[in-house]
Each structure stands twice: as structure tokens, then as C-alpha cells.
Amino acid sequence: MSTTYEHAHSSRSPVMGYDVRKEIQRRLQHHVVSSTEEVLLWTHRLDPRDHKSWYSTAFQGWLQDHRLRSECDIHESQLAPLAIRGAASAEGACSVSWHFAWTRAFRAATQVSERVALETAIHEIVTAEEDWAQRMALPLLGLAWACVETAVKGGDDMQLHVAQLAVRLYGAFAKESPVYALVFGELLKRCAWEEFEAWWATGGQWSLSSSTYARNREALNLANSSVKFIGELYRVAMCPPSFPRNALSLLCPSRSLWVAIEQLRAVGSLFSYMDPSRLAVGVPSGAGRAKRMTKLKRLSSLTTWIAWSAPGSIRRCRSPKSRVQASQ
């Protein structure tokens, strides 16, 4: 399962997110962006002239302002993390399902692997909606959440399948409308993060550590799946190195002296998808970069040893980061 960001970006495979972004960049040079599309881009912090905003800066800006939605805000049913929907007590919060024109085709795409059938389903998805931009791209948001939910609920094979499906959708949208492709890619990152954060944020009202999910094995499985899906998205170059770096920081906060075994296993799982040296991409050079790399490598080795040392155990242990700091 291990791979590197560098390998993903050197691949010429048509299912690599990097290649799709290059194609979008080429198309936008000859594409007149309508006023509706321009509003859609700026609403999601995307600059059609700056491809860096497509990949990382738009998400980082959103993340700085992001706050986990409150229970009273859960009025869009399936367009919310599984952790929150499972704990919502508001009447009707989990009972209304959103139905989009692409729903049936999406289900078909998650159940087939034969190339022709998959391409047919993807084409049906992309052409299903008359207006993907309606209600500030609500159909695109629904599609992004559908990808995340299907991946998290499925096993390892489904997570890989959905990650590759997401990139193929990204490429298919690029051929129809580069703007829709960019917005879909950005919303996918945000939805994947919200799902991950809902499970793993320390002290979160619906987090894995809350009383809501105490000793809940199914919740733990879903939480771990949210980590693996981030790994798969990184694997197919649909998110930048800063994305798993943010995830690692949330799993093992630098100020925390104690972490749960489950957190360490999640860190080990995320590391299995990447070469830690590639996580420094985008980090300014100098002493800070070298220090970060040293901590990441030590964290990787420590979690490999600790996270699998007590299978089935639910206990807390000293944070690997605190060990790293103590050793310096």
C-alpha cells in the first residue's frame, strides 16, 4: 500500500490528480469563465489564475476559518460527517435523504470495476445534473459527501476504488467544465477533512473519545476508515502533503502529553501510505524544515512500534511527540 507523493506526481496515468490539474490549466487558458462560474470559484477560494489555490491554498484558507458544525446546523441530513449524524438528537436530523439526479449512476459506479461499465457510469454522473452550480454547487457538495461516506463505510478495497473514482470524476468534469472540476476537487478535500475531524478531534462532542462512542467498535472502524481514505486520496494525488501533515497534527497534538493507542494506530496507518520525507514538500527550507523532518521520522518509527504492540487494547500512553521533545 505504501507509495510516495513523488511517484504519484511522476506517473502519467490518466487517473492521477496531478495530470488532471495540468489539463484543467490548459483548458482554462482557452475557456471563458462565466460570471456564475467566477462567483463559484471565488466563493470556494479558488483563483482560476493560480493553480496553487486549486491544490492547497484554498483548502488551507478554509481550514483556518473552519469550525466543526454544531448539532443545530445539521439540517442537510447526509451532507454531514457520519459521526455527527449518528449522534444528532434533533428530530428528523438523520431521517431525510438527499436525492440528486446522479444518485443512481453513482451507486452503479461504486459497484463495477470493468472499464467500459465504469466509464459509462461516470459519464452518466457528470451529465446527470442540468445545473451543477445551483445553490452554490450543492449537487457537487452532495457528490463529494457521497464519495466520502461510501469510502468510509466500505472496506480497504472500496476506499481505493472510491479514491480512483473521485479522480476519474475530476477528469470527467474537467472535460465538461474546468470550473466544476476544481470545485469538486476542493469540496472533496473539505468533506474528507470534516469526516476525519469529527471522529478524531480531541474533546469533540461527537468524537471517538466522547461518551457517545465509548467502547463502540463500529465507530472505531469508521474512524480508522476516515484516516485510510485520506491516505488513498494522497496516494492518487488528490490532496497535497500539507493535508496528511494536518491530519498527523490533529491525531497527535504537540501540546498533548498523552494519547490513546487508537490515535497511534491511526498515525501508523496514515504513515503506511507515504514516505515521510515527502511530507516536507511545501515546508520552508532551513532549520525549521530539518527539525520537522527529524520529528516526523521519529514519530513514524515510534508509532510503528507502539501502535501495534497491544492489539485490541484501549489505553492511553505517552505521546510520541513528547518523547521526541524529551530526547532533544
Q: What average pLDDT does range 301-316 have in this prediction?
A: 46
Tell me, yes or no, whether 75 and 149 share the same domain: yes
Q: Which residue has the higher pLDDT, 229 or 203?
A: 229
| Domain total of the chain | 2
Element (H, E) at 250: helix 242-251
Query: Average pLDDT, whole number, for the chain?
Result: 77
* Secondary structure class of 317 (helix, strand, coil): strand
154: its cell numbers: 466500505
State the DSSP string of 227-287.
HHHHHHHHHTTSS-THHHHHHHHHHS-TT-SEEEHHHHHHHHHHHTTS-GGGGGTTSPSSH
298: its cell numbers: 521519529
Tell me, yes or no, whether 183 and 328 share the same domain: no
Identify the band that residue 65 occupies on the pLDDT scale cut at 50, 70 and 90: confident
d(CA 172, CA 117): 15
pLDDT of residue 130: 93
Identify the band that residue 205 occupies on the pLDDT scale cut at 50, 70 and 90: confident
Tell me, yes or no, whether 106 and 182 share the same domain: yes
d(CA 147, CA 232): 12
Identify the band that residue 196 occupies on the pLDDT scale cut at 50, 70 and 90: very high
Q: What average pLDDT does range 50-66 have in this prediction?
A: 84
At residue 149's C-alpha, the angle toward residues 148 and 153, to 5°, is: 120
* Listed range (3-12, 141-150, 290-299) with the worst mean pLDDT: 3-12
Tell me, yes or no, whether 10 and 88 share the same domain: yes
Tell me, yes or no, whether 124 and 13 share the same domain: yes
Q: Do residues 240 and 281 touch, judged by C-beta distance below 8 A? A: yes
Tell me, yes or no, whether 287 and 323 share the same domain: yes
* Secondary structure class of 130 (helix, strand, coil): coil
Tell me, yes or no, whether 125 and 257 share the same domain: no
* Secondary structure class of 171 (helix, strand, coil): helix
pLDDT of residue 295: 55
Q: Is the pLDDT of residue 9 over 80?
A: no
Choose the final residue of a domain: 197, 223, 239: 239
Tell me, yes or no, whether 89 and 166 share the same domain: yes
Kindly report the pTM of this predicted structure. Answer: 0.80
Tell me, yes or no, whether 275 and 182 share the same domain: no
> What share of the chain has pLDDT > 70, as a percent?
69
How confident is the model over 242-282, as pLDDT tens digits?
899 899 989 887 665 556 788 888 988 898 887 665 555 55
Q: What average pLDDT does range 198-221 have in this prediction?
A: 86
Q: Do residues 184 and 238 touch, judged by C-beta distance below 8 A? A: no
Tell me, yes or no, whether 30 and 113 share the same domain: yes
Q: What average pLDDT does range 84-100 have in this prediction?
A: 59
Amino acid at 122: I
Beta strands 258-260; 316-318: pairing state: antiparallel
249: its cell numbers: 497534527
Element (H, E) at 318: strand 316-318
Domain hosting 25: range is: 5-239
Identify the band that residue 232 occupies on the pLDDT scale cut at 50, 70 and 90: very high
Q: Considering only CA atoms, which of 191, 113, 183 is closest in space to residue 147?
A: 191
Q: Which residue is it, cell 497534527?
A: 249
Tell me, yes or no, whether 231 and 245 share the same domain: no
Choose the final residue of a domain: 178, 212, 239: 239
pLDDT of residue 238: 92
pLDDT of residue 71: 46
Q: Do residues 222 and 83 touch, judged by C-beta distance below 8 A? A: yes
Choose the final residue of a domain: 207, 222, 239: 239
Tell me, yes or no, whether 196 and 317 share the same domain: no
pLDDT of residue 33: 78
